[in-house]
């Protein structure tokens, strides 16, 4: 199965919002930045969201950040 970024975008829109874009406040939050700095060079696979591995993004950091905050 080939997954395009358009497929990823569509799937993100239909999910619970775990992979939303970071807010401006998050970009200034030391916790969010610590998460992003740790994972920024990882390849990540989230089968419930998309197929295959991709480079980590701010959306992945946001998902982790939101999970910690919950």
- Listed by start position, the domains of the chain span 21-69
| pLDDT grade for 40, boundaries at 50, 70 and 90 | very high
| pLDDT grade for 19, boundaries at 50, 70 and 90 | confident
User: Angle 30-39/58-69 helices, nearest 10 degrees?
Assistant: 130
| pLDDT grade for 1, boundaries at 50, 70 and 90 | very low
Residue 20 reports pLDDT greater than 90: no
pTM for this model (two decimals)? 0.72
Distances 67 to 29, 41, 57 between C-alpha atoms, Å? 15, 20, 16
CA gap 41, 9 in Å, rounded:
21
């Amino acid at each position: 199965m080939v997954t395009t970024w358009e497929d990823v975008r569509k799937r993100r829109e239909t999910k619970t919002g775990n992979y939303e874009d970071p807010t401006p406040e998050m970009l200034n939050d030391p916790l969010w930045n610590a998460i992003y700095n740790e994972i920024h060079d990882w390849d990540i696979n989230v089968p419930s969201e998309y197929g295959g591995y991709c480079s980590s993004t701010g959306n992945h950091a946001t998902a982790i950040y939101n999970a910690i905050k919950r």
